[in-house]
Amino acid sequence: MTSRALILGCAGRTLSAEEAAFFRDVRPWGFILFKRNIGTPDEVRALTGALRDAVGRGDAPILIDQEGGRVQRMGPPHWPAYPAGGRLGRLNGSGAAMAWLGARLMAHDLAGVGINVDCAPVLDVPVAGSHDIIGDRAYGTRPEAVAEIGRAVAEGLMAGGVLPVMKHIPGHGRAAVDSHHGLPVVEASRETLAAQDFRPFAALADLPMAMSAHVVFTGIDPERPATQSRTVIREIIRGAIGFDGLLMTDDLSMHALTGPFRARAEAAFAAGVDVALHCNGEAPEMRAVAEGTPELAGAALRRAEAALARLGPAPGGSDAAFDVGEARARFEAGLSAAA
């Protein structure tokens, strides 16, 4: 059965009959969960199972934003709290090792409830004066440091059978506006962006998935945000950065974008994205986005299949061989020693 090039959210902790029927009809490629969807571990497992049952695919991707710090959808009392990315970046000498270990533990948490994709690592490089929507989510302010920690996070996730999604390509670090609420416009030159913002993404261009930035880069395309810019996607993301993995939009319901929801999706696909993301679970919006979303086919299907082919623990990395208690104690001890 073919899928639509779409990732959707749902309203609550259980799937309503109406939602299940809608998903059976629309056939999204995957789903995304937020805090509103998270109850006990048993409740999350039941929800991920119900979502996959609705589309009849046991391997349907189920995503979550589980970065640590401010952006952690699963947390206490059922799961540990993890540090923000910025704290990992400040662990001189041990940051990459600790980032890998923390991500490996997160993968254990996620896989245990049926979640197989994490929207991390964050590869944005903040600059002075930028909005704190990125802030301590970033691993540092030097591209090479961000790339090093980001690589460790991605590999830790994949070692635990969870796909990483690098974000927000080609870079959200200079944005002076939170794209949840407005459209950021970055006026740095292409040369400046290439020297800093694009570098972590280029260093990790082999990763299976990436999420676009709802940011206008006036030196590249002064009219359209990256998510809807054919120039940015073709010349920068696929060209200069060299990313040939699955490119998904950031949430189409964010206020950085304007216009009818069908048109938002159509503009993103016309620009060259592979998969549309809509997160808030509101049925009229989801229906409109679905109307503007094509079947998953061609190069987008190839990239989606290549991403899913990388699911599963690395050799020797299965949870059967992973001592979770020992790893968690080592992770906590490493953070305490560096405090």
CATH code for the domain in which residue 196 is found? 3.20.20.300
User: Which residues are within 8 A (CB) of 307 and not within 5 positions of it... i.e. 6 or more apart?
Assistant: 61, 163, 208, 209, 245, 246
pLDDT reading at 316 higher than 50: no
Strand partners, 66: 72
Contacts of 153 (CB under 8 A, 6+ apart): 85, 99, 100, 102, 103, 120, 121, 164
Q: How many domains is the chain built from?
A: 1
Examine the residue annotation and report whether 172 is marked as an active-site residue of this protein. Answer: no
**Contact predicate 310/281, CB 8 Å:** no
CA distance 123 to 146: 6
Structural tokens at position 33 = 């969960």
Mean model confidence pLDDT for the chain: 95
Q: Give the pLDDT confidence score for residue 315 in this predicted structure.
A: 47
- Give tens-digit pLDDT for 158-175: 999 999 999 999 999 998
> Is 168 marked active-site?
no
Q: pTM value?
A: 0.95
Q: Which residues pair with 182 in a beta bridge?
A: none
For the segment 254-279, the average pLDDT, to the nearest whole number, is: 97
Is residue 227 classed as helix, strand or coil in its secondary structure?
helix
Domain that holds residue 85: 4-338
Least confident interval from 130-134, 185-189, 212-216: 130-134
Of the candidates 65, 118, 250, 251, the residue annotated as catalytic is 250
Mean pLDDT, residues 215-226 taken together? 97
pLDDT digits (tens, 9 = 90+) for 188-212: 999 999 999 999 999 999 999 999 9
- Given 42, 180, 181, 255, the catalytic residue: 180
The pLDDT of 282-310, averaged and rounded, is 97
